[in-house]
Structure 1
Amino acid sequence: MELEANIESSNEQGKTSFLKTLFNGTNAIIGVGILSMPYALASGGWLSLILLIAISGAACYSGLLTKRCMDMNPKIKTYDEIGEYAFGKIGKTVVSIVLYVDLYLVLTGYLILEGDNLHNLFPKMNIHFHGISIGGRQSFVAIVAVSLLPTVWLDNLSILAYISATGVLSALVIIGSILWVGIDEVGFHNNGELFNWKGVPTAMSLFMFSYSANPVFPTLYTSMQKKHHFSKVLLIGFLSATLCYISMAILGYLMFGSTIQSQITLNLPIHELSSKIAVYTAWITPLSKYALMMEPVAATTESWFPKYQKNRGFKILLRTIIVATQVIVAVTVPFFGSLMSLVGALLSATASITIPCLCYLKISKNSRRSVESLFIMLLILLSIVIVGLGTYTSLRSLIKDTIRHHSH
């Protein structure tokens, strides 16, 4: 779930202009999922682009439903409050858990991504310490985590908002540099498969992972000056993100065909300047999102210890422990594609489609049309299919990859 939210809402509620919200919204929707788009397309074949468009539409419509839920009770400011308004305390708890686990795993995925890309740039890197040898990828995961720690200790989100503004720009730079590699070096010679039924669950999960910004929308909506324009922000944001994703998927698939790796940056001829630009930009992108996405996870964890919640030293210690646990998970499960498709299947579909649809059905039971109810039920069914099929497939490939990795 890409959580590059507009954070101005905390101190300037309802003062953000249309353009700023549009930029923040698009930034929230376009995430690191862009790197796995060609791999997703290669998994499902050309026809799976229809799935990408369908999931984009479903996530956008669910975003509009989130806005409608908030309109029904002006006191609602956050995503879990929608759950509470619809289903009481249980609703709030379930929504909070889904969000917490989803964000935690996405952050772990960022560390894996950083480790992979840096290891690709500096393949000879190894750390030897008192007779213990640490591999290059694991070393980079740890180094990146340590360098991110100071940003995680900040709990002033308005400072972090400046860091997160690079999101949209970096997506465009990555697409541009991949196009440059294609024209200059690799060419576009692969025809690819029309449809690969076996790979559809993986494709579906990765597409879903790339459209998981829904929990950010309440923050954006609350911050907006002219709230009636929010639907326009969502439509333009989703359209822009989908065009970026489709461009990246088609470029990567035409360049590398079925040999594409889980992140396109791992396929690039690293000696080329264009490749280096793509890899470095891909490296910067998660850095601009990590601390911001960590904030809800850290705040939730801190709330479990109400006695120490205001203690600065305790907060720093707790946030450091959370990052340390993510490093352990990232080193143990070093498979970005499998982890991201698992997160996409199990949690992103639940957070971005199932929850908004169920909450809206419950809250608006007296005021909606029956045709719309039927459509919303179909969306819930789609999200359940993604959760079921995708979780089974990605868990299976994650276990297989882990066993293979440890046997080497």
Structure 2
Amino acid sequence: MSTPTEVRPIPRRERRTSILDMGGPNSINNFASSYTRAQQYIGSTLIEQGGNLIEQLSRQPSVSNEEAVEFVTPDSYGPFRFQATNEVDEECAVDTEETSLLPELSRISTKRSSFTIITGNSTVPQTVFNSVNTLVGIAMLTLPFGFRLSGWLFGMLFMLFTAFCSNITAKYLGRILRQYHHLSTYGDIAHEFGGPYFSYFVTFFFIFDLTGASLTLIILFADSLSIVWPHIHALKIIIVGLIFLLSLLPLSILSLFSLLGILGTLCIIIIIVLCGFLSDQQPGSLIFPEATSMLPPAWKNLLFSLGIFMAPWGGHPVFPELYRDMRHPGKYSKSCNISFSTTFFLDLAIGALGYLMFGNTVDDSIIKTIMNNPHYPKYINKILCLLMGLLPLSKLPLVTKPIITSYENVFGLTPKYVVVDKEGQLADTYGFTRIVARAIFFSLLLALGLLFTSFGKLVSFLGSAICFTVCLALPLLFYMKLNGDNIGTIHKVFLKIGVVLSLSAAVIGTYSSLAMNVTE
């Protein structure tokens, strides 16, 4: 006879309802929770934390028979995710840097086993907000330079092509997850496609991309602030030192701190538009725009712009986790359409307005171009200095976190357990060895930051070598293999053409970004 089950809710901290809870699923509190989870996805999408946790628990010398074990069973919306856990975890849960911010859980427990159902919490507006926040990044600041290289005709074609194709492949990833309920991340899909070694290959691609993204933020910080304090090397040392200190903060704080990045990015967009109307002198005016070109001024630079127009979609691999976090995954396609359309128009506004304001004199960063323009009020530079100081500080800790987690797991630096003192506080989350390892990592990052000096070349390289591969080519390959039974012959032909075009653009764009001088 089977043991009767007991249904009980997950323990919650009691708190009073407030005006922040008004609005049901779309309340301010729920938006905040959805945003925090999305930041966790961005910070750990390359790391299979669940597997690492189980591996760590399996290495512990003793495991009680009373310890709960959870299994994975699919349902129509998402996986039942099972994790090694025990009764103490519920009573003495401690937030650490490794704490996973999972969607809403519904648990059915017995004495020996515990079933956890992950249904997802985010509504369509919350998913759109998180998606746009993921996609809108500093790569958009080089889009005016992309138009300078490509001209209006090819620039618009490249922007439309990359936005449309990235939207399609994001939907393909959602279709894969709808059929394979045990998958949750881009890394899971890569593992299902090609096994562990292929998953390692994809993870290497991502870590390479995150390293490059870190370097672009360091270069952008130094280039922008060097206009008021011309010591680029010293500025790079300062920003890397600050990020090292911030890396010691837990993820829960970093995700909230990154909210400054959203506000900073929004302010930058507003300032770029306002600057166009603050001056009636060329260059830098939308009242009297600079001369622009319909076709590329130099055809040899056209291919260089490929990576620049692809780079804004670099957050694409986070979409599988945003899909799993949805309350109603059936609305995922609608969310993608809104998210990619919104991001496209924001990117187009920055690219087109920046090109109209400065024409063929625009630099590889529109911020640097504005700050070097003497026609604007002096307070513009002060505001931009503040924003360009906050933007890298808000983004770099989350960008570098997956890399840190990776090497700490590889070298066994991740703690196997959490030490809690008598008052229930963390006693020793960071050992001396981990701090030294992080100091070495940031020293290497600083060395690379001092070596690379061109923001535009780095964005073009990352957009070509990484984004064309992981945002377009690989999702098409995944879909052809994993959902092949549901694909018609003509559809497969188009998918294969898409793979060939994506890989060709990756190779050609990468070569152009390495071989050409950004100022040509």
Report the 3-state secondary structure (helix = DSSP H, G, I; strand = E; otherwise coil) of the residue aligned with 1:234.
Answer: helix
Within 2, Cα distance between the matches of 1:382 and 1:53?
A: 15
Report the 3-state secondary structure (helix = DSSP H, G, I; strand = E; otherwise coil) of the residue aligned with 1:56.
Answer: helix
**Structure 2: unaligned runs, 5 residues or longer:** 1-34, 42-99, 104-119, 417-428
Within 2, Cα distance between the matches of 1:289 and 1:234?
A: 23
Report deviation, 1:187.
1.5
Report deviation, 1:279.
4.4
Matched, 1:172 2:270: no
Higher mean alpha-carbon deviation, 269-278 vs 17-26, is at 269-278
Q: Which has the higher helix share?
A: 1
**Match of residue 357, structure 2, among 234, 252, 255:** 255
Query: Where does 1:26-45 land on structure 2 (aligned, <5 Å)?
Result: 26-45=132-151
| Contact 1:114-1:283 at 8 Å conserved across structures | yes
| Contact 1:38-1:264 at 8 Å conserved across structures | yes
Counterpart of 2:292 in structure 1 is 192
Report deviation, 1:225.
2.2
Counterpart of 1:128 in structure 2 is none
**Match of residue 312, structure 2, among 205, 210, 215:** 210
Tell me which amino acid in the other structure corresponds to 2:480: L
Counterpart of 1:149 in structure 2 is 244
Distance 1:317 1:15, change over 3 A: farther
Report deviation, 1:397.
3.0
Query: Where does 1:264-343 land on structure 2 (aligned, <5 Å)?
Result: 264-268=366-370, 269=373, 271-306=377-412, 309-310=415-416, 312-313=430-431, 314-343=433-462
Matched residues, percent identical?
A: 25
**Match of residue 62, structure 1, among 165, 169, 172:** 169
Tell me which amino acid in the other structure corresponds to 2:201: V
Within 1, Cα distance between the matches of 2:258 and 2:326?
A: 18
**Match of residue 201, structure 1, among 299, 303, 307:** 303
Report the 3-state secondary structure (helix = DSSP H, G, I; strand = E; otherwise coil) of the residue aligned with 2:313.
Answer: coil
Report the 3-state secondary structure (helix = DSSP H, G, I; strand = E; otherwise coil) of the residue aligned with 2:453.
Answer: coil
Tell which structure's C-alpha radius of gyration is larger.
Answer: 2
Report deviation, 1:243.
0.6
Report deviation, 1:221.
1.9
Q: Which has the higher contact order (CA 8 A, sep 6+)?
A: 1
Matched, 1:12 2:102: yes
Distance 1:175 1:80, change over 3 A: same
Distance 1:265 1:205, change over 3 A: same
Query: Where does 1:80-229 land on structure 2 (aligned, <5 Å)?
Result: 80-123=187-230, 136-154=231-249, 156-185=250-279, 186-188=284-286, 189-196=289-296, 197-229=299-331
TM-score (norm 2): 0.70
Distance 1:315 1:371, change over 3 A: farther
Distance 1:366 1:286, change over 3 A: same
Distance 1:279 1:43, change over 3 A: farther
Provide, for residues 218-240 of structure 1, a one-character-per-residue CA deviation record: whole Å limited to 9, x for no partner: 22222222222222222211111
Within 1, Cα distance between the matches of 2:138 and 2:451?
A: 21
Within 1, Cα distance between the matches of 2:402 and 2:396?
A: 11
Aligned residue pairs total 386
Report the 3-state secondary structure (helix = DSSP H, G, I; strand = E; otherwise coil) of the residue aligned with 1:306.
Answer: coil
| Contact 2:413-2:434 at 8 Å conserved across structures | no
Within 1, Cα distance between the matches of 2:512 and 2:354?
A: 23
Within 2, Cα distance between the matches of 1:8 and 1:322?
A: 21
Distance 1:73 1:326, change over 3 A: same
| Contact 2:480-2:492 at 8 Å conserved across structures | yes
| Contact 2:311-2:467 at 8 Å conserved across structures | yes
Report deviation, 1:50.
1.2
Report deviation, 1:79.
1.4
Tell me which amino acid in the other structure corresponds to 2:238: I
Tell me which amino acid in the other structure corresponds to 1:288: S
Within 2, Cα distance between the matches of 1:241 and 1:278?
A: 22
CA RMSD between the two structures: 2.3
Report the 3-state secondary structure (helix = DSSP H, G, I; strand = E; otherwise coil) of the residue aligned with 1:210.
Answer: helix
Tell me which amino acid in the other structure corresponds to 1:140: L
| Contact 2:236-2:449 at 8 Å conserved across structures | yes
| Contact 1:215-1:351 at 8 Å conserved across structures | yes
Within 2, Cα distance between the matches of 1:150 and 1:223?
A: 31
| Contact 2:36-2:256 at 8 Å conserved across structures | no
Report the 3-state secondary structure (helix = DSSP H, G, I; strand = E; otherwise coil) of the residue aligned with 1:239.
Answer: helix
| Contact 2:261-2:390 at 8 Å conserved across structures | no
**Structure 1: unaligned runs, 5 residues or longer:** 124-135, 402-408
Provide, for residues 309-342 of structure 1, a one-character-per-residue CA deviation record: whole Å limited to 9, x for no partner: 5473233332332222111111111111111111
Tell me which amino acid in the other structure corresponds to 1:330: G
Within 1, Cα distance between the matches of 2:164 and 2:263?
A: 23
Tell me which amino acid in the other structure corresponds to 1:137: I
Within 2, Cα distance between the matches of 1:158 and 1:213?
A: 20
TM-score (norm 1): 0.88
